[in-house]
Amino acid sequence: MNFPLPQFETPAPVALRDRMRQRAPEALATLLLLVSGLALAPLVSRGERYVLVGVLLAWAAAILLLASYSRALRRRLRAEEADARRRADRADELAAELNLLIDGAVGYAIYTVDPLGRVSFWNEGARRLKGWGEEEVLGRDMALFYPPSAVAAGKPRADLDAALRDGKFEDEDWRLRKDGSEFLAQVLITPLLGPDGRLRGFGKVIRDITEQRASERQATAAANHLRSILATVLDAMVIIDERGNILSFSAAAERLFGYAEDEVVGANVSLLMPAGDGARHDGYIRHYLDTGERRIIGTGRTVTARRRDGTTFPIELSVGEAITEGERVFTGFIRDLSDKQRAEQRIEELRSGLIHAARVSAMGTMASTLAHELNQPITAVVNYVRGVANLVEASDAQDLPMIREALDDTAQEALRAGTIVRRLREFVARGEVEKSVEHIPDLVDEACKLALIGAREKGVAAEFRFDPHAGPVLVDRIQIQQVLINLMRNAIEAMAEMPERRLAISSRVESPGFVRVTVADTGPGVAPAVAEDLFRAFHSTKADGMGLGLSICRTIVEANGGRIWLEPREGGGSCFHFTLVHVEEGNSP
C-alpha cells in the first residue's frame, strides 16, 4: 500500500502593517537612544560628542540586529510548532483512514500477534469473520483460531516460524469461528520487524474462501470430471434431459452406436432406437413426469437399440434419475447384449455338454454295474430257460418236477435281477440324499438361474404363483432343484415351435402333509397313451435327447417321498406335477 506523503504549505506573506507592528519595539528603543543622545549632547565637550554619537549608533545597530534575530528565532519556533501540530493532525487522520480501510475490508480479518503469538490488534473484519470481539481476544493465543487437530500438530507455531524464515507465509487451511464452526481460510502471515531489525510481532490477513473453492470444485465436478467419468465408464452411458434430448454421450456409447458425441448432443434419444420404439419413448418420459410412476427407472430391461448404420442389436438398459439444482436428468447405462448373448449361447452349449457328460458317465457306471451284477442272474435265467425248453421238447412226464424246479430257479434269478436294479436305484437316489427344510420359492428361484438361461431371448415368459400356505418341505435341495431344472428345460424345449410360450411354476397344498409343485407349459402336450412311457429311461422323441430326464425325476421324487405325474394342461400344453413332504417350520429332524 502506498500512501501519499503529506504536503507542507509554504507560509503566506505577512502584511505590511503587521510587519510595522512587529518592528515597533525596536524602533522605539532606537528612537529613545537617539533622544537620550541628543539630550546628553550639550553636556559634553565637542571631542567627546563624536565618541557619544559613535557609541549611540553602535547601540542602535546592536538593538536592531538583536531584535531582528530574536524575531527570526520566534518565527522559526512558531513555524516549527505549527508544523508539528499539522504533522500530528495528519497522522491521526491517517490512522483513522487506515482503520476505516482495515475495518472496511469486507471479508478480510486483519489482526496482529506479538512474537509469542498473542493477539495484539484485532480489526472489525476479524470480528465479523471469526465472531470474537476485540476485548475477548486481545492477549489470547492465536491457537484459539486453529482446529484441535492442527493445534495438536503444532501448526500455529510452525506457521509463525515459516513466516519468519521465509519473510512471509501463505496457506489455505481450515480455521474455527467462535461458535465452533469451520471455514476454509486463505492465510497470509507477515513478520513485523522494527527499524532496529527486532521482531515486533506478526501481521495476519485471513479471508474465507470456502465458497470460492467449493464452487470451483463444483464446476470441475460438473464439467471435466463428468467428462472423464464418461470417458472411462465401461458401459456406454447416455444422459438425457426431461425432453429426451441427449446431454452427453460417453466414449463407450460412441463406439457402440457409431455416432460421435458432437453429432448426437442435442438430438432426441429416439435416434438410438428402432423407429416405433423412439416414438413411444417420449410418451414414457411424459408419463413418468406426470404420474411419477416408474416403468423402467431404477430397473434394468432388455430392449432393442439402433446403430448409426441402421442395424439393430439387443441391449440391457438401466435408467437412473438425478436432480441437480432443480434440473432433472436421466442417465442410461447401456450394455451390449449381442456379445452377452453369444457368451450365453456358449455357456448353454457348455452346460448341456456338461450335463450330457455327467449323465453319460453316471449311465456308464450304472450300465457297467448293471451288466456286471445282472450278468449272473440273466445268464442263469437263460441257461434255465434253455434247459427247460429241451426238457419240454422231450415231453417226458418224469421230467416235470425238474422243469418246475428249473422254472422256480428262473423266477428266483429274475427276482434277484429286480432286487439288484432296485438296490442300484436306491443307491443312486439315496447315496447323496441330504434332507433339509426348504422353502419352495427359494428352491424355484435358484433352479431358475440355471434353467432360464437364454429363455428370455427365446421369447419364453416365466410366471410364478406360490401358495403362501404351501409351507416348507423336507427335501434334498440339490436333487429337487435338478427335478425342477429337468422339467423346466423340457417345457422350454417343447414350446420352441409354439406361437405362445408361457412357462408357469406354481405350488399349492396337496393332501395333508404334502405340497404339490407344478411346472406347466403351452407346448404341444403329450398323448395320454404315451404319458406313462415318458418316465421310463431312454424314451425320447428328440434327435439328441437321451430320454433320461424324466426317469431321473421320478427316481428322485420317489426317493424324497413324493410322486410325479403328468396331466394335459387346459387350453393346450402339459402340466408336470410332483409332490413333496410338507413340514411345520422348526420341525426339522
Span from 173-181, 189-197, 356-364, 416-424 in contact with other proteins (CB under 8 A): 173-181
Q: Which stretch binds ligand ATP (CB under 6 A): 211-219, 281-289, 419-427, 523-531?
A: 523-531
Which CB, 56 or 534, lies closer to ligand ATP?
Answer: 534
Distance, in Å, from the CA atom of 275 to the CA atom of 161, rounded to the nearest integer, reads: 72
What secondary structure does DSSP assign to 227-292, as a single string?
A: HHHHHH-SSEEEEE-TTSBEEEE-HHHHHHHS--HHHHTTSBGGGGS-HHHHHHHHHHHHHHHHH-
**Closest separation between CB of residue 492 and Mg ion, Å?**
10
Q: Is residue 342 at the binding interface for other proteins, with CB under 8 A as the rule?
A: no
Q: List the one residue from 549, 551, 566, 573 that touches Mg ion (CB under 5 A).
A: 549
Taking contact as CB under 6 A, which single stretch among the options 186-194, 434-442, 548-556, 579-587 is the one that binds ligand ATP? 548-556
- Near ligand ATP by CB under 6 A: residue from 482, 574, 582, 583: 574
Other CB atoms within 10 A of residue 516 CB: 19
What is the per-residue DSSP string for 124-185?
HHHHHHH---HHHHTTSBGGGGS-HHHHHTTHHHHHHHHHHHHS-EEEEEEEE-TTS-EEEE
Residue 547 touches which of other proteins, Mg ion, ligand ATP, none (Cβ within 5-8 Å per kind): ligand ATP
Q: Which residues contact 352 (CB under 8 A, 6 or more apart)?
A: none
Q: Assess contact for 108 and 100: CB atoms under 8 A.
A: no
Q: Tell me the CA end-to-end span of the chain in Å, nearest whole number.
A: 92
Is 378 a binding residue for ligand ATP by CB under 6 A? The answer is no
Q: Which of 36, 68, 99, 218 binds other proteins (CB under 8 A)?
A: 218
- Residue from 74, 78, 86, 213 touching other proteins (CB under 8 A): that is 213
Residue 551 binds to Mg ion (criterion: CB under 5 A): no
* Cβ-based neighbour number of residue 230 at 10 Å: 20
547 near ligand ATP (CB under 6 A): yes
| By the rule CB under 8 A, 289 interacts with other proteins | no
78 binds, among ligand ATP, Mg ion, other proteins, none (CB under 5 to 8 A by kind): none
d(CA 201, CA 119): 9
Residue 292 within binding range of other proteins, rule CB under 8 A: no
Radius of gyration in angstroms for the set of CA atoms belonging to the chain, rounded to a whole number = 56
3-state SS class at 382: helix
* Binding residues among 476-495 for Mg ion as defined by CB under 5 A: 490
**Least distance in Å: CB of 322 to ligand ATP?**
47
* Strand segments (E) across 325-379: 327-336
Measured at the alpha carbon of residue 457, what is the angle toward residues 456 and 462, in degrees to the nearest 5?
A: 15
Give the span between the Cα atoms of 348 and 342, in whole angstroms.
Answer: 10
Q: Does 291 bind other proteins (CB under 8 A)?
A: no
Confirm or reject binding of residue 293 to other proteins (CB under 8 A): no
- Work out which of 541, 572, 587, 588 binds ligand ATP, going by CB under 6 A: 541
Closer to Mg ion at the Cβ: 549 or 562? 549
- Residue with Cβ nearer ligand ATP (417 or 487): 487
Q: Which of residues 508-567 bind other proteins (CB under 8 A)?
A: none
Q: Is the Cβ–Cβ distance between 176 and 156 less than 8 Å?
A: no
Within residues 219-238, the interface with other proteins by CB under 8 A covers: 221
Among Mg ion, ligand ATP, other proteins, none, what does residue 574 contact (CB within 5–8 Å per kind)?
Answer: ligand ATP
147 interacts with, out of ligand ATP, other proteins, Mg ion, none, CB within 5 to 8 A per kind: other proteins
Q: How big is the site for ligand ATP, counted in residues (CB under 6 A)?
A: 21
Q: Name the minimum Å distance from CB 506 to Mg ion.
A: 20
Options 100, 322, 382, 478; binder of other proteins; rule CB under 8 A: 322
86 interface partner picked from ligand ATP, other proteins, Mg ion, none, CB below 5 to 8 A per type: none
Closest separation in Å from C-beta 329 to Mg ion: 49
DSSP string of 44-71, one letter each residue: S-HHHHHHHHHHHHHHHHHHHHHHHHHH
Q: Of the listed pieces 71-79, 209-217, 480-488, 538-546, which binds other proteins according to CB under 8 A? A: 209-217
User: Which three cell numbers mark 524?
Assistant: 404341444
Q: Binding residue for ligand ATP (CB under 6 A) from 151, 233, 546, 581? A: 546
Decide: is 294 part of the binding site for other proteins (CB under 8 A): no
- Residue 331: phi and psi, rounded to 5, are -110, 130
How many angstroms separate the Cα of 293 from the Cα of each of 230, 278, 288, 324?
28, 20, 5, 20
Q: Which of 117, 244, 549, 562 binds ligand ATP (CB under 6 A)?
A: 549
Reference 240, options 212, 266, 222, 217; nearest CA is 266
Counting every residue written for the chain, the total comes to 589
The answer to whether 274 touches 312, Cβ cutoff 8 Å, is yes
Which one of 155-163, 175-183, 238-246, 549-557 is the stretch in contact with Mg ion (CB under 5 A)?
549-557
Tell me which of 539, 565, 567, 569 binds ligand ATP, using CB under 6 A: 539
Residue 523 binds Mg ion, judged by CB under 5 A: no
Q: Is 518 in the site for ligand ATP (CB under 6 A)?
A: no
Looking at 43-51, 200-208, 510-518, 545-553, which segment touches ligand ATP (CB under 6 A)?
545-553
Q: Of 244 and 523, which CB lies nearer to ligand ATP in the complex structure?
A: 523
Q: What are the DSSP calls for 202-223, one per residue?
A: EEEEEEE-HHHHHHHHHHHIII
Q: Choosing among Mg ion, other proteins, ligand ATP, none, which partner's interface includes residue 56 (Cβ < 5 to 8 Å by kind)?
A: none
Nearer to other proteins, 209 or 370 (CB): 209
Cα–Cα distance list, 456 to 27, 341, 362, 492, 579 (Å) = 131, 11, 31, 10, 28
Q: What does the DSSP assignment read for 460-482?
A: -EEEEE--TTS--EEEEHHHHHH
Contacts with other proteins by CB under 8 A: the residue count is: 22
Beta bridge partners of 577: 518, 565
Positions touching Mg ion (CB under 5 A) are 490, 549
Applying CB under 8 A, the residues found at the interface with other proteins are: 147-149, 174, 179-182, 184, 210-211, 213-218, 221, 322-325
